[in-house]
Structures are given as structure tokens and as C-alpha cells.
Structure 1
Amino acid sequence: MLRYADGDFWIRSSKALLALIVGMWALAAAYGNVADYGTNWIYVQNIMSMSATQDDPIVAWRAIDDPAVQRVAYAAIIVGEAVAGAFFILAGILMGLRIGKPSRSFQAAKAPYAIGLIAALLVWLFGFMVVAGEWFQMWRSPTYNAQQSAFMFYATMLLAGVYIFQKSEEPLAPPDSR
């Protein structure tokens, strides 16, 4: 019987819920990019064409002005966000279903979160911070700089992962009936 004081139940529940919330966030980002395609499409175009650095020939050669290549990059962002979200949610569901199971089973349910985290890091850390931020020098754009948003995404997902990946002990034994 579940008791309010059963700390392991609540810790495991919070991990499952956190994975679900992070997953919904990533899926909402993907959905937003599909439903309102044009809003962030302008960002991708301006960053890849390096509109903020056109007067700097030292780096301007890196610009990609081809709309087809830009669309492939935008599609990769959307797919990456959706994949991350789907795996985070899968982890949350699996953890939720295994809350009362042995530690090994609960730990195994966390694996999809790691897969989602890889996808998230590829999108927000590598894609936004490394490629857009440094290669295309997004940081120089006063209008089309998404580095703070990207940091918020991957830092939150990483911090959630630190908590989620902490080993969960075996469920607490029922109290003695003496």
C-alpha cells in the first residue's frame, strides 16, 4: 500500500514527471516551428546568410545563402526537437510504469532520456551554440541571436538529466506490522 511518507515513490514520481515536462517542452518547440514556420525561418535565414557580418570579409565567406540548404537546416532543427521530445516523454512514461519496480528496472526506464538528451544537445548546444553561434557568428546579431534561448533549453535538459540519472534505490520495504 502506498504511504505518503514513502519517499522513494515520490522521488521516482518526480523524475518521471520531470521527463514528461521536458519532453512536452521540446515537442512544443518542434510544434511551434511547424505551426508558425515563418517566425523562426527568418532566424535561420538571417543567421545562415550572416546578415549581421556582411561587412566583415574575414568571416562573411562562411555564409550560406542557398534557401534549399537553409530549409534542410531548419528541418533538421525541427526533427531534432521532435525526436528529443519523443524520447523524453517515452522515458517519463516508462519510469512512471516502473515506479514500484526494482531499481534495475527503474534505471533501465531512464535510457530513452539519454537518447533524447543526445538529440537535444545536437540541436541546442551543437546547432545553436557551436554552428549558429560561433561558425555563423549569431552572437553578432542584435536581432537574430537565439543563444540565450538555446542555453536555457540545453541547460535545463542537462540539469533535469542530472537529477533523473541519479540512481534510485530499491522501493522502501513495507513497515513492520508489530
Structure 2
Amino acid sequence: MTIRLCKIALVAAVALFLFIVVLNNAFFDYASNYGFVEHVLAMDSLFSGESQVWRALRDPTPGDGSWWFYHAFYVTIILWEAVSCALCTYGAFQLFQQRRAPVVAFRAAKKFAVLGLTLSMLQWFVAFITVGGEWFLMWQSSTWNGQDAAFRMFACIGIVLLFLAAADGENESDA
């Protein structure tokens, strides 16, 4: 039972983290986080100069800060985080309901938590490390570089996913 409760607590902790991320990104700090996305997509702080900026998505009307694509990209990130949060929250709830169930039932209850954790890991790896970091060369910016944070979140959530996916014990009394 202890291992199961630890798994539930960690999935719930990821759900709480994602909930706070969504609140910050969507409501409390939209402008600064939007600015981060805008600068990464514009590739306006690279040390390699102009050789790779053909990849950049730059506002055709500089200065107004209202290019729709930046907002659409940012809203997609927020929605991705919100779906991951909802799946982890529901997953933790399902696991909690099955905490005393036989091993097979508890294992089956992992489905939504696994989906939520995986979706979140995909976001950190695909959207931030791959697209932001490599395609838009975010790693070259001393100001707008979120790769360390993205890797940290990818690793933390990955550890939770590995722990959740691991066997719960040899028999029900061990779980």
C-alpha cells in the first residue's frame, strides 16, 4: 500500500505543478511568458547572427506585439499543459480509488496518469527542447533560453512515469 500511495502522491504532485503552470501562463503572467514565446519564435537574440534566421517567425508589423501566430502558438502550449494536467489529475483520482484493489485493477487504473505524464514529457521534449531549442535555436540565447528548465521538467516527470510504471510488488501485501 505504501508504494501505491507514493505513486499516487507523485502523479498528484505533477498535476498540481501543471495546474500552477497553466494558471501562470494563462492568467497570472501571460504577458511575460508570451514574450518568451515571441522572442524564441522571432529568433532575435542568437549569437550566430543571421545565418539561421530563415527559420524565424517574425511579426510582419514589428512593434505592435500582436501577431496572431505568436498568440496561437502560446495558447497551444497552454492547452497542451491543461490537457496534461487534466489527465494527471484524473489519473491520480483513478489510482486513489483503486489503491486497495487487486494488482490487476491498480495496474489498469494507471492508464490516464501514464497518458498525462507522457503527454507532458512530449511537450517538454518536442515543443521546448526540439522545436524551441533546436529549430528556433533557443539554446543560443542568453536571455530567452528555457532548455535547462525544459530538461529538468522532462527528467522529473520521466522519473515519476518510470516509478508509476514499475511493478507495485510481488504480491498484494507488498503493494
Please report the TM-score for the alignment, with normalisation by the length of structure 1: 0.87
AA aligned to 1:48 is L
1:22 match: secondary structure? helix
2:101 match: secondary structure? coil
User: Of residues 25, 29, 43 in structure 2, which corresponds to 1:33?
Assistant: 25
2:144 match: secondary structure? coil
1:61 match: secondary structure? helix
**Structure 2 counterpart of 1:130:** 130
**Structure 1 counterpart of 2:42:** 49
Mapped partners of 1:28, 1:109: distance in 2: 25
For residues 17-59 of structure 1, the C-alpha deviation after alignment (integer angstroms, 9 at most, x for no partner) is 1100111101111111011100111100000000113872320
Mapped partners of 2:113, 2:69: distance in 1: 30
AA aligned to 1:171 is E
Mapped partners of 1:109, 1:39: distance in 2: 38
AA aligned to 1:144 is W
**Structure 2 counterpart of 1:172:** 173
Mapped partners of 1:88, 1:48: distance in 2: 29
For 1:65-104, list aligned pairs within 5 A. Answer: 65-66=58-59, 67-104=67-104
2:114 match: secondary structure? helix
Contact kept in structure 2, 1:91 and 1:112, CA below 8 Å: yes
Aligned length: 165
Please report the TM-score for the alignment, with normalisation by the length of structure 2: 0.89
Percentage identity across paired residues of the two chains: 28
Mapped partners of 2:172, 2:17: distance in 1: 29
For residues 93-123 of structure 1, the C-alpha deviation after alignment (integer angstroms, 9 at most, x for no partner) is 1111111101111001111122112321232
AA aligned to 2:54 is W
Gaps of 5+ in 1: 1-8, 174-178
User: Over alpha carbons, which structure has the higher Rg?
Assistant: 1
**Structure 2 counterpart of 1:5:** none
For residues 44-84 of structure 1, the C-alpha deviation after alignment (integer angstroms, 9 at most, x for no partner) is 00000001138723201100024211111101110111111
**Structure 2 counterpart of 1:4:** none
1:59 matched to 2:52? yes
Contact kept in structure 1, 2:118 and 2:161, CA below 8 Å: no
AA aligned to 1:73 is F
Contact kept in structure 2, 1:117 and 1:157, CA below 8 Å: yes
Q: CA RMSD in A?
A: 1.6
Mapped partners of 1:75, 1:64: distance in 2: 16
**Structure 2 counterpart of 1:13:** 5
Mapped partners of 1:118, 1:11: distance in 2: 21
AA aligned to 2:22 is A
Contact kept in structure 2, 1:54 and 1:60, CA below 8 Å: no
